[in-house]
Amino acid sequence: MGYYIPVERNVNIFVEDCDPGHGKPILFIHGWPLNHKMFEYQFNQLPKMGYRCIGIDLRGFGKSDRPWEGYSYNRLADDVRIVIDTLQLEDVTFAAHSMGGAIAIRYMARHAGHKVSKLALIGAAGFTRRPGIPYGLTKEEMKRWERSWSKLMVATYTDRPKMLDGVGDIFFARYVTESFKNWFHGLGIEASGHASAMCAVSLRDEDLGRDFSKINVPTAIFHGVQDKVCPFSFAKLMHAGIRESELIPFQYSGHGLFYEELEKFHRELIRFIG
């Protein structure tokens, strides 16, 4: 079932709810520059196991409205809060990938974990700029991270299809078919170019370091060891900074671990949620 939820005047968020009212709710928050359909293979299987899968298209992405403003982590986290309250969700597990993971971390800090009982961070873009943080990026690594997102922002405004091809080339460490690549590329094309660029700015500039200590629910950090988009050092940093967290490495995966090691991903997610 799909429907729209208003989060601001003239801004509606698209939500897909696989089985309203039944099963433990898992709220999936997609990464940049995709939409909730990236979790197709989770939506195919997890409801059979008794889970209510709910996918959000963040503003500017997928079927959601595309306002000119509102792409900070704070605003995106506020949108998620409105969805949770509108659906009257309880005992929610966040399953949040990449930028979605960063938004989930901000949500936990900004909204004191409202209605969320467990947090699954999947290849999350979680890092801090503060010096002296264990497992943090070196100064040179941080510069490379900032440069890469600055280039993506420029490329989004000049040749977005080619930019998406480049993202697709480094997204997966394991072989995926050309047909799958084309489908995946199409998810990125569905996004607003402006929203994609503005979220690239947020990815480049936002700092989550002060948010980690405010997370007070069991947290599982799912991360590909071969991730070239969000390096595995991000996973170590989050694991060191988040209480009650466990780190689950995916040895054979890059940024697309939710597909590259699909069976392991489902097995570990179900174990974690319980």
Name the active-site residue from 64, 98, 192, 245: 98
pTM assigned to the model: 0.96
Q: How many domains is the chain built from?
A: 1
3-state helix, strand, coil split of the chain in percent (to 5) is: 45, 20, 35
Name the active-site residue from 196, 227, 239, 245: 227
**Taking the alpha carbons of 247, 252, 257, 259 in that order, is the dihedral positive or negative?**
negative
**What is the spatial distance between Cα 216 and Cα 169, in angstroms, rounded to a whole number?**
36
Tokens of 230: 């969000």
Name the active-site residue from 30, 36, 239, 255: 255
**What is the spatial distance between Cα 166 and Cα 186, in angstroms, rounded to a whole number?**
13
Q: Which domain holds residue 121?
A: 2-273
Confidence of residue 19 (pLDDT cuts 50, 70, 90): confident
What is the CATH number for 246? 3.40.50.1820
Amino acid letter for position 16 = E
Q: Which helix (H) or strand (E) holds 6?
A: strand 2-8
Residue 98 appears among annotated catalytic residues: yes
pLDDT, tens digit, 9 for 90 and up, residues 91-128: 999 999 999 999 999 999 999 999 999 999 999 999 88
Q: What's the Rg (C-alpha) of the chain?
A: 17
pLDDT, tens digit, 9 for 90 and up, residues 53-88: 999 999 999 999 999 999 999 999 999 999 999 999
